[in-house]
Amino acid sequence: MNISAYLDRFGLLAVGLVAFAAVLLALYGLAELASRRDRNRAVAFVFLAPAVLFLLIGLVYPAVRTVVMSFYDAKSENFVGLDNYVWAVTDPDALQILVNTAMWIVIVPLLSTALGLVYAVLIDGRAGEKVYKALVFLPMGISFVGASIIWKFVYQYNGAGGEQIGLLNQVVVWLGGSPVNWLNESPWNNLLLMVVLVWIEVGFATVVLSAALKGVPTEIVEAARIDGASPSEIFWNVTVPSIRSAIIVVAVTVFIATLKLFDIVRAMTQGHHGTDVLAHNMVEQAFRLFERGRGATLAVLLFLLVVPVVIYQVRNMRRQEMETR
């Protein structure tokens, strides 16, 4: 598309926005002449209409368009029905992507939440607690690409017999082993990539869960101790139920961040050697291979994975609101 076509579209958009603004002003003027009840409704509509319009343009339309594109071929010209979805669940490479994504969304949230909880319990009330929190939270200040480069040096492989600059391979050599090209070894490469995201997210989990731990009533803990409960029983039967909502928030947040994962895979392996995931391959299909239909299909699958978690979180928040009333 040439520049003039873009300008034409921009002009049409500008005219549309001006017309929309004029309609809103007209409605507002009519609201001033209407009764008080009608005026309140009209004013509410005037103020909500721009937000609703932007949601329709920026969220609803792209979502519907993506779903429609998933039923068309690479150029979005010919209707192919469910062929793209059949490809997503039958093609060996596509199945590998789904398996990898499933591994990520199970292992990373579980490990991040568990490690964050353990670390928060260990440092709770200790001298230097703020320093310990700051240290574990530092990776959160690093971009995913920056963290990927750091860990890529850790996994660096210079060939057998060569001087190893990668920390992991140097440790292997010190122990008498042979260096390994870690990022090419499946399935270990997937697990090593997960370490990067866990390293980043543990800080978030620690801070949130540490704050939740400080909200656990001391009276309940003391009562459990008086009743003869062991520290492990207090932890599982008193502490964990008391901070259950915070644990769910952390797990859901890390889950969604894991589903959107692109940077780490792109920077470290570019999806090669069996490390590709949905979000990364979606971009690859749409913008490098120009398979728009398949890219849209992967986007829809990504959306379908997020929806149940969001619904669960919304229901959980509503239940908490009902309990606090």
Q: How many CB atoms within 10 Å of residue 262? A: 18
Per-residue model confidence (pLDDT) at position 100:
93
Find the largest Cα–Cα distance for the chain. 88
Contact indicator for 310, 319 with CB cutoff of 8 Å? no
Per-residue model confidence (pLDDT) at position 17:
63
Of the candidates 268, 248, 247, the residue with the CA atom closest to the CA atom of residue 197: 268
Q: Looking at the chain, list the stretches that DSSP marks H as alpha helix, in order from N- to C-terminal side.
A: 3-33, 36-55, 61-69, 83-90, 92-123, 129-137, 144-154, 167-174, 188-213, 218-226, 231-234, 240-242, 244-259, 263-268, 278-283, 292-324
Per-residue model confidence (pLDDT) at position 5:
47
d(C-alpha 245, C-alpha 249), whole Å: 6
Per-residue model confidence (pLDDT) at position 43:
67
Going residue by residue through the chain, which has 325 residues, state the pLDDT in tens, using 9 for 90 and above: 443 344 345 555 555 666 666 666 665 665 555 555 566 666 677 677 777 778 888 888 888 888 999 999 888 888 898 999 999 989 999 999 999 999 999 999 999 999 999 999 999 888 888 899 999 999 998 999 999 999 999 999 887 777 888 889 889 888 888 888 999 988 889 999 999 999 999 999 999 999 999 988 888 888 888 888 888 888 898 899 989 989 999 999 999 999 888 999 999 999 989 899 999 999 888 888 888 899 999 999 998 888 888 888 888 778 877 776 6
**Upstream peptide bond of 109 is cis (omega within 30 degrees of 0):** no
Of the candidates 135, 125, 128, 319, the residue with the CA atom closest to the CA atom of residue 213: 125
Which structure tokens are listed for 253? 């947040």
